[in-house]
Amino acid sequence: MRTPLLGLRWAQGAWPWYGHGFVVAETGGYMTTEAVLDATFVAMTQGITDQKPFPVPQVPPPCDLTLGLSLMEKDVGRCVWKMEGDERFSNPAGVVQGGFIAAMIDSAMGAAVITSVESRKIFATNTDLNVRFLKPARIGKELRCEAKVISSGKTVAFVEAMVLDEDERMIATGSSTYLLIERSG
């Protein structure tokens, strides 16, 4: 598959809440999707391998604040989060749009990974995210997401999650593989 060639360059402050990011500029020409992904991975890990300063992560991150996520339970490699199926998240069909459910799953799984490494200081980043929607999430219902680390090593963790509504209906399930990157500080 051919993709328009994109130029990636490091840009301090491109993502203001993290203090780092990337500026993507179209430069013409074409390159393979694989080459774009490779360049993105190199750019994303550049700050770690070149010891560029990464900030201390904000807890909770802005995305969790936007979703209104609240931590209900936490243990090593497991956590449970909740959020309200708010009208702001509705789609034209009048149910919670799937992207918000996917974001909840992603946040819960990321938190489960962080609890699984105990005293290690890491960044955890997805290498994939799979979400299966089983039932519509109704507006006004509380959603609960339980995430568990299934298996973890020094550099990779495998995580699963499920979302239930307040009536105990299973709304969605998710899974992800996380790359664990050591950080200083």
φ/ψ (deg, to 5) at 49: -75, -30
171 burial (CB, 10 Å; 0-12 / 13-18 / 19+) is buried
Beta bridge partners of 6: 26
Provide the pLDDT for residue 67: 87
Q: How many angstroms separate the Cα of 174 from the Cα of each of 56, 80, 86, 115?
A: 28, 14, 21, 18
What domains lie within the chain, and their CATH numbers? 2-49 (no CATH), 62-182 (3.10.129.10)
Strand 156-165, strand 170-182: pairing? antiparallel
φ/ψ (deg, to 5) at 13: 90, 10
Query: Where do we find the tokens 């989060």?
Result: 81
Provide the pLDDT for residue 56: 60
In single-letter form, the type of residue at position 140 comes to G
| pLDDT one digit per residue (tens) for the chain, 185 residues | 433 333 333 333 333 333 333 333 333 444 444 544 454 445 445 544 454 555 566 667 788 888 889 999 999 999 999 999 999 999 999 999 999 999 999 999 999 999 999 888 888 899 999 999 999 999 999 999 999 999 999 999 999 999 999 999 999 999 999 999 988 76
Provide the pLDDT for residue 65: 83
Provide the pLDDT for residue 158: 97
- Rounded Cα distance, 172 and 60, in Å: 23
Tell me the two tokens of residue 128: 């994939």
Tell me the two tokens of residue 31: 């390159």
The closest alpha carbon to 21, from 5, 6, 4, 43, belongs to 43
Provide the pLDDT for residue 19: 34
